[in-house]
Amino acid sequence: MSSTRHLAALAAAERALGRLDGALADPELRRRNLPPAVRRTVVAMMKLDGAPVTADEIALAAVAPECVAPGPRAAAVHAAGLVRLALDIEDGRVGAAAPSRPAGPAATG
């Protein structure tokens, strides 16, 4: 049985979950907050992978990769692609952000 001293904390947590559920149900709020959350997640993933990039470098690489400093440019372009892919998956457009790959040399037998 639950102790009465925790009932206030449980009630507050339940109210907070209700507010969160309501916020996630609002498509406009979700659309506005999703891109920054995805960028933060990608920045954290890149840092764990050993290629630290900033959210500013990712945003710049998405529109003008040549303007990113040469050192972090490759990682920023890769991270910008991950952000586009994650947002496309969220929108239900799987594969829309995948860059076309140049055809490799034909295999000869």
Q: What is the pLDDT along the chain (109 residues), one digit of tens a residue?
A: 557 778 888 898 899 888 877 777 778 877 787 888 888 889 998 988 888 899 899 999 999 999 999 988 999 999 999 999 988 888 777 655 455 444 444 444 4
Residue 89, judged by CB atoms within 10 A of its CB (0-12, 13-18, 19+), counts as: middle
| Predicted local distance difference test score (pLDDT) of residue 17 | 85
SS3 22: helix
| Predicted local distance difference test score (pLDDT) of residue 103 | 44
Residue 70, judged by CB atoms within 10 A of its CB (0-12, 13-18, 19+), counts as: exposed
- Cβ burial 31-41 (10 Å sphere, 16+ → b, else e): eeeeeeebbee
| Predicted local distance difference test score (pLDDT) of residue 66 | 92
| Predicted local distance difference test score (pLDDT) of residue 79 | 93
Spacing of C-alpha 22 from chain mean position: 22
What are the residue boundaries of the structural domains of the chain, listed by start? 34-91
Spacing of C-alpha 67 from chain mean position: 22
The residue ranges of DSSP E strands in the chain, in sequence order, are none
| Predicted local distance difference test score (pLDDT) of residue 67 | 92
| Predicted local distance difference test score (pLDDT) of residue 76 | 93
* Structure tokens given for 63: 């529109």
Tell me the C-alpha distance between 57 and 92, whole Å: 26
